[in-house]
Amino acid sequence: MQQLLRKIAFPFSLIYALVIFLRNYLYNIGFYRSLSYPTVTICVGNLSVGGTGKTPMIEYLIRLLDSHSIAVLSRGYKRKSKGFLIAESKSSVEDIGDEPFQIHKKFPKITVAVDADRRNGITQLENLVKPDVVLLDDAFQHRKVKPTYSILLTAYGNLYIDDWYLPTGNLRDSKSEAKRAHMVIVTKCPKLLSEDERTAISKKLKLLSGQKLLFSSLAYNEVVKNGSKDEIALLSLKEKKVVLVTGIASPKPLVSHLFDIGLQVTHFEYADHHYFTEKEIQEFSGFEIILTTEKDFVRLSGKVDNLYYLEVAHQFSKEDEMILQKAILDLI
């Protein structure tokens, strides 16, 4: 049914594509201005709607730059507040959004801020915090800011070059705008990606001279956590009745991973950034173990017993990791 609706919506996708083209054209000719800032700004984004691993990439950069003063600036999607906010000890997931809240809890020593107006957000951070670097989460399509360095993510199973515009496809920006990226990372790759496949993808994307192309796979933790010091070996869940609850854009890799290691789970799937109702929680709260993603955990924590989350990170080959780390560290 959903596929049928997307096909019916094709004329609207053409209108959307035209609007996106005109907007980018006006920026490209200088009619609209893109501003740069004295502070180093690193943008992590994509051309599609979710599902490429932006938050794990932000976390990777935080760990890489841990000797520097870091600020993360996000829109704070679906938060119930407005304007510029810096996360504090009393901040809630409703105040700043699930992904910023996840980062704030995981890395309490760094500054996490939210503002839909990225220009204002950067200016506020420069005045109030004076960080060495600002990580711009999900900001590739925000042309008002010209970042120091842009990292564009695209998923192995749904490369932007093969996609189409909303609402028929998942693209929210023009494919040609990939030329603005300094680095393109193909995420969610098979762990044993052959050189032939890497070459084929490189030829398909047709990046410009000077643009770097890297490949990453997903690395899942071997334990699940519950927000305290309690941990359970993931493989031990084979012996328990487990429900998997996801409110993310692309749960398929996680489901496949659990299946591959022998877990039999009942999957409750919801839309990305979903806020769970009491009725929905009652539907899955009776299981022995409730497993979820780290992003969903911050929206479910305190509302469900026996709740655990599974961490995920980007994993690169040694060669690609050296290229990525050198590119980022050379900026500071």
Binding site listing for ATP: 48-55
**What secondary structure does DSSP assign to 41-82, as a single string?**
EEEEEESBSS-S-HHHHHHHHHHHTTTS-EEEEE--TT-S--
Number of neighbouring beta carbons within 10 Å of residue 269: 13
Q: How far apart are the first and last CA of the chain?
A: 49
User: With contact defined as beta carbons under 8 Å apart, do 183 and 212 qualify?
Assistant: yes
Cα separation, 59 vs 194, in Å, equals 27
Q: To which H or E segment does residue 201 belong?
A: helix 195-205
**What secondary structure does DSSP assign to 144-165, as a single string?**
TB--SEEEEEEETTB-GGG--B
Cα separation, 213 vs 224, in Å, equals 32
Residue 243: both structure tokens together: 């429900």
AA letter at 295 = K
Cα separation, 32 vs 122, in Å, equals 19
Which phi and psi angles does 283 have, rounded to 5°? Answer: -65, -30
Secondary-structure breakdown of the chain: helix, strand, coil percentages, each rounded to the nearest 5: 35, 25, 40
Binding-site positions: 48-55
User: With contact defined as beta carbons under 8 Å apart, do 54 and 138 qualify?
Assistant: yes
Cα-Cα-Cα-Cα dihedral sign, residues 140, 39, 92, 151: positive
Helix (H, G, I), strand (E, B) or coil at 109: coil
